[in-house]
Amino acid sequence: MIFERKYFPLNRIEILSENITGNYRYLSSLYPGIKIAPVLKSNAYGHGIELIAKILDPLRPLFFCVDSLFEAHKILKTGVKTKILVMGFTDPRNLTVKKLPFSFAVYDLEHLKGMLKHQPEAKIHLFVDTGMHREGIKIDDLNDVFKIMGKVNIEGLMSHFAMSEKYDSPLTLMQVKNFKKAREILEKFNINPKWVHLGASGGFLNAKHFEEIGNMARTGKALYGIDLSGKFKDLKLALRLKSTLVQIKDLDKDESVGYDFTYKAKKKMKIGILPIGYNDGLDRRLSNSGFVKIGNIFCPIIGRVSMNITTIDLSKVKNPFVGQEVIVISEVRGDINSAENIAKTIGTIPHDVLVGLSGEIKRGVV
C-alpha cells in the first residue's frame, strides 16, 4: 500500500488498482472498433486524479479526459505520456500564456476564434449540441461556422447523451440522428475528424449500433465500476473508504444522540464515534439511515451525521475497540454501504456519492 509512514490518517481511501485496470481492459475488449478514453474529471470521480492517471498510463489509453486546464496540468505534472483532452470551457485568457500540449473541446464560434488566435496548433474536438441543450454548437449553425472559419484543425467531433441508459428512447435516437447530420456537414467541408465520440459510459454500453456513436468512448463511471443497469457483472467497484473507531461509550435507554437529538435509544446500547462527517463527503442524508461495516457486521449510523463526526450503533459488534478499522464505503457491490447502495438510500447516483469525497482524505493504491 502506498501511504507515507510519517502520518497515520484516521480516514483513508484505498484505490483497488487491479479493479481499475480490469475495468479498462474489459471495456476495451467489448468493441474493437471503439477506443476507450478514460474520464478523469472531478478528481477521477473522487478516486484521485493523479493516482488514476498513473495506474492507467502504462496501458496507453487514447486520451485522459478532464474538465479543466487545472486538471490537465495536475495530470501533466505526474509525467504520464497519455494525451489529454480538456472537455470543459477554457477561458481564452488562459490560452495566452504559453503553448499548451492539450486537445480542447470547443463549444461555439467565439471559443473557436480564441483557440485559433492563441493556440493555433491546438487540436480541437468540435462539440455539437445534438439535443441535450447544454453546451455545444447548434447543428443548424455548423454551416455558418465553417463558412466563416474555413478548414480548421479539427481532431474530433463530439457530443453527449442526455439519457444514455435509455438508448431506445425517441429523444436519444433523435440525438443519434442529429450527430449523423453533424458528421455529414463536416464531410461537406472535407473535414473528417480522426476521433468521433457521442458515447460516454452509458451510450457505449447500451447502444445497439456502435458505428452510430463513433470510434471513441469517454468512459467515466464504468471505468470506476459503476453499472446503473446491473447487466455488466465484470465491472468492479474500485474505491474503499475507511475510518477509525475513536471512542466507545454506553448509552442508557431513552438517552439521545447528536444534533437535534434525532435518535433516542430504545434500550441500553453501545455506541461508537467515527472522526468523519459531511466535510469529508459522508452525506448528511445518511443520518439515521446509513450503515458502516466492522468486520462482517453492518452498524447503523445513528443521529445526525455531523461536519466531522458520525455516531454508530455497536450493539452487534463483539468486543469493539478504539482504533478498530471501519469501512464507510465498501467496494463490494452487494454491501449495503457500497457507493451504489448508498446512492439508493439517499436518492441520488453513485458518482454523486464518490465525487463528494473530500480531496483532503489521504488516498493510496492497494
CA distances to 163, 169, 232 from 206, rounded to whole Å, are: 10, 12, 11
Q: Does the structure show a pLDDT above 60 at 197?
A: yes
Does position 3 have pLDDT exceeding 60, yes or no?
A: no
Between residues 203 and 365, the one the model is more confident about: 365
CATH 3.20.20.10 range(s) for the chain read 17-219
Structure confidence at residue 146 as a pLDDT band (50, 70, 90): confident
pLDDT band at residue 362 using 50, 70 and 90 as cut-offs: very high
User: Which band of pLDDT confidence, cut at 50, 70 and 90, is reported for residue 202?
Assistant: confident
pLDDT band for position 120 (cuts 50, 70, 90): confident
DSSP string, 105-146: EE-SHHHHHHHHHH-TT-EEEEEEESSS-SSSEEGGGHHHHH
- pLDDT tier, 190 (very low <50, low <70, confident <90, very high otherwise): confident
CB proximity list for 262: less than 8 A, separation 6 or greater: 256, 287, 288, 303, 304
Identify the pLDDT of residue 151.
60
Count of CB atoms within 10 A of residue 331's CB? Answer: 19
Q: pLDDT per residue over 296-350, tens digit each?
A: 999 999 999 999 999 999 999 999 999 999 999 999 999 999 999 999 999 999 9
- 341 by DSSP, 3-state: which? helix
Mean pLDDT of 44-50: 97
* pLDDT-above-70 percentage for the chain: 96
In this structure, are residues 300 and 291 in contact, taking their beta carbons and an 8 Å threshold?
yes
**Residue 215, pLDDT score:** 93
Report which of 332, 281, 357 is spatially closest to residue 48, judged by C-alpha positions: 357
Q: Among 3.60.20.10, 2.60.420.10, 3.40.50.1000, 2.40.37.10, what is the CATH number of 239-365?
A: 2.40.37.10
Q: Which of 294, 255, 249, 252 is nearest to 272 (CA)?
A: 249
d(CA 66, CA 83): 11
Average pLDDT taken over every residue of the chain: 92
pLDDT category at 4 given cuts 50, 70, 90 is: low
Distant-in-sequence, close-in-space partners of 10: CB < 8 Å, separation ≥ 6: 243, 244, 246, 275, 276
Q: Is the pLDDT confidence value at 1 over 60? A: no
Cβ of 32: how many Cβ atoms within 10 Å? 7
**pLDDT at res. 112:** 86
In the chain, the N- to C-terminal Cα span, in Å, equals: 5
Mean pLDDT on 242-252: 97
Residue with cell 447503523: 300
- Please report, for residues 175, 183, 335, the alpha-carbon distance to residue 238 in angstroms, rounded to integers and kept in the order given: 32, 36, 14
Split at pLDDT 50, 70, 90, the class of 210 is: low
Spell out where 19-90 has E strands: 35-38, 63-66, 83-86
The three cell numbers of residue 215 are 470510434
Per-residue pLDDT tens over the stretch 57-71: 999 999 999 999 999
**Beta sheet of 362-365, edge-to-edge order:** 247-251, 269-274, 310-313, 297-302, 291-294, 325-329, 239-244, 12-15, 362-365
How many helices (H) and strands (E) the chain has is answered by 10, 20
Its CATH class, for the domain covering 17-219, is: alpha beta
Q: Where in the chain is the domain with CATH 2.40.37.10?
A: 239-365
Query: What is the percent of the chain with per-residue pLDDT over 90, rounded to a whole number?
Result: 73
What's residue 69's pLDDT? 95
Q: What is the pLDDT of residue 211?
A: 67
pLDDT at 163: 80
Tell me what pLDDT residue 45 has: 97
Residue pair 316/296 in contact by the 8 Å Cβ criterion: no
Q: What angle do the packed helices 109-118 and 142-149 form, to 10 degrees?
A: 30
Rounded Cα distance, 158 and 198, in Å: 5
Cell numbers at 244, concatenated? 477509525
Give the pLDDT band (50/70/90) at residue 25. very high
The CA distance from 148 to 151, in Å, is 9
What does the pLDDT read at residue 116?
85
The reported pLDDT for the residue numbered 147 is 76
